[in-house]
Amino acid sequence: MPDRVLPTSHASLAYGVPAAARATIFVLSVGGGMSVGPKEGRTLLFGRNRPDVHVCVGEDDPRVSREHGALEHRSEKWWIRNTGRLPIRLPGGRLLFAEEEPVPLGEGYTPVFVRGSSNREHLLEVFV
């Protein structure tokens, strides 16, 4: 599957994704998203600085880092890494801090929450 931009009007990834090659990743926020096939070393960046990231999340929230995190493909898996100031919340309440090692993502739907200001959390939907 070639790289593809997902529009802001795209339905939630929780409803599923179109048929795609194994390990294709779909990433979506309220600002849109993208899907890309697996390739060793490939990295997708997310954060509030739209011009410099692949998927913009929390664009209007200064507490979200310009580059808050990365999704990396290595060893035949997708991994999530925090590159921002505030923790990223994963399923089960797991907090991922900037100084921690990346965490592997399982196949299927993963909601990721980026903490922002005034108790806001910005949803980044990921589907592998």
Domain interval for residue 19: 4-127
Give exposure, 46-58, as e/b (b: 16+ Cβ within 10 Å): bbbeeeebbbbbb
Structural domain total, the chain: 1
Q: Which residues of 90-118 are buried (b: 16+ CB within 10 A; e: fewer)?
A: beeeeebeeeeebeebeeebbebbbbbee
13 in helix, strand or coil? helix
CATH code for the domain of 20: 2.60.200.20
| 83 contacts 53 by C-beta, under 8 angstroms | no
Reading the chain (128 residues) residue by residue, the pLDDT tens digits are: 568 999 999 999 999 999 999 999 999 999 999 999 999 999 999 999 999 999 999 999 999 999 999 999 999 999 999 999 999 999 999 999 999 999 999 999 999 999 999 999 999 999 99
C-alpha distances out from residue 7 to 4, 12, 57, 81, Å = 10, 11, 14, 24
Measured between alpha carbons, how far apart are the two ends of the chain, in Å?
A: 13
Identity at 54, one-letter amino acid code: H
